[in-house]
Amino acid sequence: MNRITQNFNTLKARGEHALICFMTAGDPDIDKTVELASSLYDAGVDALELGIPFSDPLADGPSIQASSQRSLDSGMTAHKALQCAARIHERVPLLPLVLMTYYNPVLRYGMTEFARDAAASGVDGVIITDLTPEESAEWQHHAQVNQLATIYLLAPTSTDDRVSSVCKICSGFVYCVSRTGVTGARQDVPQDLKDTISRIRRYTDLPIAVGFGVSSPEHVKAISAFADGVVVGSSLVDLIHNNRDNRDLHNVAYEYCASLKAGTRTVTAGSQQ
């Protein structure tokens, strides 16, 4: 069984919800990315999204755009990102790994080779942000051959037909974007988010994780009342960048993620239904 599914099943049995954190591979450098992944795991993070930087990140806001550019400027490539994933897997083999990228780097790498090398690196799932269901058949084939989950994004603006088509081919979990627009920390949880999650649940039994704008323990606690997991990205990316020269960077990241994880333990099993 895929480790993503295993973790969600274990969490559900314990009455917890998943905390999924995002880091950009190679920001500030590969060694620190690997070390930080270990700190995040120790803090209770249930899965790691590892971003493969791309020069035209359509879905990303200023924080992750800047992080991607810093990583690219330092020489990061898709090949090196997979090497980074392999080192993380070796360091923390129980931490599920999800690659997050765009279609262009996958095509340039070669879909057959990318899926094969991702699996060999210990990756459990892939989010190709701009890959639509209508264009995904070839990727789905290679992902399934290599036992990789393919995670798709849905938004509050997704029609019922779109929700249905995505849920039919999604695996691992469904990524629900909390609001329209790009990634980035926000101050509030959208009032209609619970209704969006309920609508998606009509089409799938997969866990549903919410991302885009989640940045505080209060956000995590509120969303965990009706979703199976939360994704935190931009605020962690900013914290890492702002503390990149701090010798206590790993402790700072640990404390932040531990505070987020606490919010996933305050909701009893089944309360999101």
Q: Is 49 a catalytic residue?
A: yes
- As a three-state string, the secondary structure of 191-252 is CCHHHHHHHHHCCCCCCEEEECCCCCHHHHHHHHCCCCEEEECHHHHHHHHHCCCCCCHHHH
Q: Which of 27, 60, 117, 228 is catalytic?
A: 60
What own/partner pairs with CB < 8 Å and gap ≥ 24 does 78-83 have?
78/52, 78/105, 78/106, 78/108, 78/109, 78/114, 79/109, 79/117, 80/25, 80/26, 80/30, 81/25, 81/26, 81/50, 81/52, 81/53, 82/117, 82/118, 82/121, 82/123, 83/30, 83/121
Q: In what order do the strands lie in the sheet with 47-51?
A: 149-150, 125-128, 97-101, 47-51, 18-24, 229-232, 208-211, 174-177, 153-154
Q: Is 60 a catalytic residue?
A: yes
How far apart are the C-alpha atoms of 21 and 23, rounded to whole Å?
7
Q: Which of 16, 49, 117, 228 is catalytic?
A: 49
What are the residue numbers of the active site? 49, 60
